[in-house]
Structure 1
Amino acid sequence: MTTIRTRFAPSPTGFMHVGGVRTALFAWFIAQQSSGTFILRIEDTDKVREVEGSITQIENSLRWLGIDWQEGIDKGGTFGPYLQSKRLAIYKEWAQKLIDQGRAYADPYSKDELEAFRVQAKMNKQPFLYRRHRPENPPEWDGSQPLRFKSDPKPYTWTDAVMGDLSTGADAIDDFILIKSDGFPTYNFCHIIDDMLMEITHVLRSQEFISSTPKFLNLYEALQIQRPILGTLPYVMAIDGKKKLGKRDGAKDILEYGSEGFLPEAMMNFLATLGWNDGTEQEVFTVHEMIEKFSLDRVQRSPARFDEQRLLWLNGQHIRLLSLDDLYVRVTDFWPASAKDADEIYKKQVLALVQDRLKTLKDLPIITDYFFQSPVPNWLMADDNKQLRKLNRQEQSELLSQTMKAIEQVKDFTTDNIQSALNQLLITTGQKPGILFSLIRLAVSWAPFSPALNDTLATIGRGETLTRLQTAIDAA
C-alpha cells in the first residue's frame, strides 16, 4: 500500500494568509487520516520578493494552529534539504536531463525582442505563445540565459480531486522557463522535481494555478514520471463574494488571531469549513472529527466567503467546549490588571461564570474587571437602557435602597438564597425583572453585560454588593 505523503510548500514572501493556511490544513488532514507524512517545504526561489523572518512566521503559524510536520528544514528527513535554495544542484541535474533529451533549450532572446513578439501577437489578435518563436539553433546553455522547456502541445483531459474532470486544448501548452538567468528555478519546474523526489502523493494548490496544470502535465510526461493526485482549491473571497480576500477586506496575519483571543481549534474549524462540509448540518467540529470526516470530494468547487462573524461565533462555541482548567491556562495573558493579586480559586470562580459569554479571550477584561475592583458609577448607561429610562433617578435610587435592605436580610449568602430574595423583591416593588434586575446588575458592575445576577452577587460577596449599591445611590 502506498504511503500517503502530502506537503505544504509556501514561499517566504510575507505573513501567512487564510487561503495558504487552508491549503496546509487540508493537506495535513489527508496525511493524518492515513498515518502518513506531512512535509513542510519552503520555496524560496524568488529572492526579490522574499521577506526576512517569513520562514519563522510560517512555522509559528502552523504550530499555533496545531499543524505539525514530520519533515522540514527544522527537522530534516530522508528527502532533504527542504529549502529550495539549497537544492539548486538537483534542479540543474534534472534540467540537464531534459537538455540531453532535446526537451529544454537556452532562451536567446532579450526582453525587448520578447516584448516585440507579444506586441505582434496582439496586433494579429492572437494569444502570445513563445513556442511560435522557438529558435531553430539555440545556443548551448551556460547558465547565463534562461532555460526553457520544449513543450509538446496537445489537448489534455485529467481528473482533479476537487474540480472533477477537466480538459484543455493544445493552445494551453507553451514553452515555459525552467531555470532563470539568475540560476534559480521557476515554480513550474522545481515543485515538480521536488514532489517527485520527495514521493509526494497529493498536491493541493490554489485555483490560481489551474491554468498552469496542462503545462505541468506536459512536463510530467517529458520527465516520464507518474503525477500525484492533484487537487485545486477554490479561492477564499471577501464577504461580499465579489473579489479575492485581501488586506483591505480584513485579511491579516494568522498569528494576529491568537493575540486577539481566538482559539487555534476554532480557527482550524473555521478554515476547514471554508468550502468543505461533511454533508450534515454540523458546524462545530473537534480536531479529531475534522481529521476523521475530511475528504476532498466534499470540498466545494465554488469560492468560499470569509465571514469573520462566523469565526467569532465558532470561537465562542469552542471556548464553551474547554474544561475550566484548560481555559484558565489559556487566559493567562488576558486577565485585567485588576486581577493581578487575586488568587487562583477566585479567578477560576469568576472564569466559570463568564465562560459562556466569552466570544474571544480578549473579552475577558471588560466582563470581569468589576469582579476585582469596584467600578466607577456611570448613570448614563441607565439612561441608554430602554427599560431603565422609564424611571427617574429618584425612583431608581429608591429601588436600590430597597435592594440593600433585601440583601442585608439574606441569612446565608448563596446563589439560591439570593435568587429567592430577588424574586421576593420583585413582588415587594411590583417591578418587572427587566427593570429591577437590570438596575441592580448595572449598580454592581457598570458593565455592558454580566453573568446571572445571583451568581454575580454571590461571587463579589454581600459586603461588596452593599458597598457598590450605596456608591451607586450616592452618585445618582
Structure 2
Amino acid sequence: MSTVRVRIAPSPTGYPHIGTVFQALVNYIFAKKHQGKFAVRIEDTDQTRFVADAETAIFSALKWFGLEPDESPIHGGEFGPYRQSERLPLYQKYADELLVSSHAYRCFCSRQRLDEVRKQMQADGKPPMYDRHCRKLDPSESEKLAKTQSSVIRLKVPDNQTIICHDEIRGDIAFDSSVVDDQVIMKSDGFPTYHLAVVVDDHLMEISHMVRGEEWISSSPKHILLYDYFGWDKPKFIHTPVLRNPDKSKLSKRHGHASVAWYRENGYLKEAVLNFLITRVWNHPEGKEIFGIEEMIAHFDFKDMHIQGPIVDLAKLDWINGTWIRNLAEADLIKRLKPFKSPKLSDDMLLEFLPHIKDRLHKLTDITDLTDYLIDDPAVPVELILKEAKTDANSVKAYLQQVIEVIKAGQTFDAGSLENNLRALQEKVGWKPRPAFMPIRLCVTGRQHTPPLFDVMVMLGSSIVIKRLSHALTKL
C-alpha cells in the first residue's frame, strides 16, 4: 500500500459530536496501522454557522481521547494551512479553471427565483433541483454580467451519464447524472461550498483514503466529476455507517449523548468510550469485547466493518465502562474519581472503602451515590424502616435502642465483633435476619443497598453509628 494519509474535517459550528470522535478513531487507527498520517482540517467555510470556541473544543476532545493528529492548524504540517478560511485563493483558482474548461458556469438567479423553481418541481413530484437557467448563457456574456451582478459558480453535471463511485466497503455505487444537481461550488461571498473545497483540499493534501460518514454517499457523484474534470487521481472512498439511537433515528445534537462533553461529565472513561464506539461497527477477531486502542490498531480493517446502522446502546456502554473501571489499578481509579467525589471524602477514606464499592461502579459519577452517606447524615426513611422490620414503630424503637446498647457495650468496634454481637441480639429478640439488619442499614446509610453492613459501620465509626441510630429513634 502507498503512503496512507487520512483526515477528518469537522466544522466549527457547535460543540463536538460523538460522531466526530468515531470518525477520528477509525481514521487514527487506520493511519497508525499503516504507519501513515492522520490530519485534522477545519472546514469553516460556512461563516453563518461559525461558533467561536468550537475549534478549541474539537481539539480538546481529540486530546482527551488520545486521538491527537499528526497535522492540523494546531500541530502544523507541510500541507497547510489547515483551515479552509485560510485557503480561499486556492478555491478561487480551481473554480476559475472549471469555468475556463466549461465544466462550471456562473449563476445569477435570485434566491426568490430559486425558491419558486424548487417549489414548482416539488409540486410536479420531481426532486428539487436547479433548472439550469443560467447554464444557457454564453460564457463571455456571463463574465460581463459578473462585473456588475452577484453570482455563484455551479458545477456543470453532464446529461445521461452513469457516474460510478467505488466504495472500499460497499463496492460500486452507480448514480444517474440526470438526478445529480448542478451544485453551487463557489458562493457569492468568495467562499467555496463543501463540494469544491473537499476535493481540492484532499487532492492538495495528498489524502489517500477519503473516510467519511455514509450521509455523504449521495454527494459522491459530484466529487467524482470534480476529480475527473481536474484530471486528478481519486482517493479511495470509504463511507462509514452513521451512529444511531435504539429507534434507528440518527444521533443528532438534540440528544444529550450526542455531545462529547456528555460522556466526560457523566463519568465515562475515554478508553471505554473508544472501545464502545469501535464495537458498534466491528468485532474483534478473537471475540473480545474489552480491548484498548493498541489492539484496534493491530486488528482493525475497514473490510470487516459492519455497514448496518450502529446503535448507541447506553446500557452496553455502562457495562463496558464498568468493566474498564474494575480493571483499573487502584491508584489510577482514585485519580480519575477525584473530580467526581465530594471534597469531604478524603483519599484515605476512599482508598479504604474502594474495595467494597468497585464492583458497583458503572460510571465515575456513581461514586457520589455510593459514598454520600459516609460524609453526610442521611434522611431517615421511616416508612421503609417499618416496612422492612414488619412490625410497629414502638417495637422497632425498642429494638434499635438495644442495638445502641450492644454497640456501646462492645469491647472492640470491628466488623467481626459487630456481626457476632448483633446476630446474638437478633436471635435473642427472635427476629429473622432481614427484619433485624435492614432497619439498621437504613438508619445508618439511608439506603437498602450498600457494601457489607458491618464494614460500613466500622468505616463510619461507633460515634457516628450511634448518633444516626439515636436520631432515627426521634423520627420513628
Shared topology, TM-score over 0.5?
yes
The one of 315, 335, 338 equivalent to 1:332 is: 338
* 2:96 is equivalent to residue 96 of structure 1: yes
Please give the alpha-carbon distance, in whole angstroms, between the structure 2 residues aligned to 1:391 and 1:129. 77
**Structure 1 residues 437, 123: closer, same or farther in 2, change over 3 A?**
closer
**Alignment deviations for residues 180-229 of structure 1 (CA, whole Å, 9 cap, x no partner):** 11100010110111111112222222222111111111111112222222
**Structure 1 residues 462, 290: closer, same or farther in 2, change over 3 A?**
farther
Please give the alpha-carbon distance, in whole angstroms, between the structure 2 residues aligned to 1:230 and 1:364. 45
Native 8 Å contact 1:267 1:315 kept in 2? yes
Native 8 Å contact 2:217 2:239 kept in 1? yes
**Structure 1 residues 155, 273: closer, same or farther in 2, change over 3 A?**
same
Q: Scaled by the length of structure 2, what TM-score is found? A: 0.87
**Alignment deviations for residues 107-141 of structure 1 (CA, whole Å, 9 cap, x no partner):** 24333444455456556655455475422513236
Q: CA deviation at 1:406?
A: 5.0
Match of 2:380 in 1: 377
Q: CA deviation at 1:38?
A: 1.6
**Structure 1 residues 448, 420: closer, same or farther in 2, change over 3 A?**
closer
**Structure 1 residues 157, 410: closer, same or farther in 2, change over 3 A?**
farther
Native 8 Å contact 2:167 2:237 kept in 1? yes
Match of 1:350 in 2: 353
SS in 2 for 1:48: helix
- Where structure 1 has 5 or more consecutive residues not aligned to the other structure, the ranges are none
Please give the alpha-carbon distance, in whole angstroms, between the structure 2 residues aligned to 1:322 and 1:245. 30
Please give the alpha-carbon distance, in whole angstroms, between the structure 2 residues aligned to 1:162 and 1:419. 62
Match of 1:194 in 2: 201
**Structure 1 residues 266, 431: closer, same or farther in 2, change over 3 A?**
farther
Write the letter of the residue equivalent to 2:365: K
* 2:63 is equivalent to residue 63 of structure 1: yes
* 2:458 is equivalent to residue 458 of structure 1: yes
Write the letter of the residue equivalent to 1:180: K
Native 8 Å contact 1:338 1:373 kept in 2? no
The one of 186, 189, 199 equivalent to 1:179 is: 186
Q: CA deviation at 1:440?
A: 2.3
Q: CA deviation at 1:441?
A: 1.7
Native 8 Å contact 1:152 1:218 kept in 2? no
Please give the alpha-carbon distance, in whole angstroms, between the structure 2 residues aligned to 1:233 and 1:366. 39
Please give the alpha-carbon distance, in whole angstroms, between the structure 1 residues aligned to 2:401 and 2:276. 49
**Structure 1 residues 172, 278: closer, same or farther in 2, change over 3 A?**
farther
**Alignment deviations for residues 329-367 of structure 1 (CA, whole Å, 9 cap, x no partner):** 12222222533xx4x322321334322222322232232
SS in 2 for 1:305: coil
* 2:310 is equivalent to residue 304 of structure 1: yes
Write the letter of the residue equivalent to 1:305: I
Q: Which moved more, 1:176-185 or 1:223-232?
A: 223-232
**Structure 1 residues 401, 119: closer, same or farther in 2, change over 3 A?**
closer
Match of 2:370 in 1: 367
Write the letter of the residue equivalent to 2:136: P
Native 8 Å contact 2:357 2:370 kept in 1? yes
**Structure 1 residues 247, 41: closer, same or farther in 2, change over 3 A?**
closer
**Structure 1 residues 382, 288: closer, same or farther in 2, change over 3 A?**
farther
Match of 1:137 in 2: 138
Please give the alpha-carbon distance, in whole angstroms, between the structure 2 residues aligned to 1:446 and 1:403. 17
**Structure 1 residues 460, 118: closer, same or farther in 2, change over 3 A?**
closer
Match of 2:213 in 1: 206
SS in 2 for 1:193: helix
**Alignment deviations for residues 218-266 of structure 1 (CA, whole Å, 9 cap, x no partner):** 111112222222222233333322x323355444531133123222222
Native 8 Å contact 1:320 1:356 kept in 2? yes
Q: CA deviation at 1:41?
A: 1.0
- Where structure 2 has 5 or more consecutive residues not aligned to the other structure, the ranges are none
* 2:28 is equivalent to residue 25 of structure 1: no
Number of equivalences: 469
**Structure 1 residues 416, 8: closer, same or farther in 2, change over 3 A?**
farther
**Structure 1 residues 45, 359: closer, same or farther in 2, change over 3 A?**
same
**Structure 1 residues 172, 25: closer, same or farther in 2, change over 3 A?**
farther
Please give the alpha-carbon distance, in whole angstroms, between the structure 2 residues aligned to 1:422 and 1:266. 42
Q: CA deviation at 1:458?
A: 2.7
**Alignment deviations for residues 165-187 of structure 1 (CA, whole Å, 9 cap, x no partner):** 42222324343222111100010
Native 8 Å contact 1:350 1:371 kept in 2? no
Write the letter of the residue equivalent to 2:319: W
Native 8 Å contact 2:169 2:239 kept in 1? yes
Please give the alpha-carbon distance, in whole angstroms, between the structure 1 residues aligned to 2:33 and 2:469. 58
Q: CA deviation at 1:373?
A: 4.1
**Structure 1 residues 123, 320: closer, same or farther in 2, change over 3 A?**
closer
SS in 2 for 1:230: strand
Please give the alpha-carbon distance, in whole angstroms, between the structure 2 residues aligned to 1:377 and 1:468. 9
Q: CA deviation at 1:279?
A: 5.9
Match of 1:218 in 2: 225
Following superposition of structure 1 onto structure 2, how do residues 26-425 of structure 1 map, counting pairs within 5 Å? 26-115=26-115, 117-118=117-118, 121=121, 126-127=126-127, 130=130, 133=133, 134-138=135-139, 139-140=142-143, 144-153=150-159, 154-241=161-248, 243-278=249-284, 282-339=288-345, 342=346, 344-383=347-386, 388-404=388-404, 407=407, 413-421=413-421
Please give the alpha-carbon distance, in whole angstroms, between the structure 2 residues aligned to 1:336 and 1:381. 27
Q: Which moved more, 1:129-138 or 1:448-457?
A: 129-138
Native 8 Å contact 2:426 2:436 kept in 1? yes
SS in 2 for 1:99: helix
Write the letter of the residue equivalent to 1:393: A
SS in 1 for 2:47: coil
Please give the alpha-carbon distance, in whole angstroms, between the structure 2 residues aligned to 1:458 and 1:468. 14
SS in 2 for 1:156: strand
Native 8 Å contact 2:441 2:448 kept in 1? no
SS in 2 for 1:361: coil
Question: What is the identity percentage for the equivalent residue pairs of Structure 1 and Structure 2?
Answer: 34
**Structure 1 residues 88, 356: closer, same or farther in 2, change over 3 A?**
same
Native 8 Å contact 1:366 1:447 kept in 2? no
Native 8 Å contact 1:106 1:148 kept in 2? yes
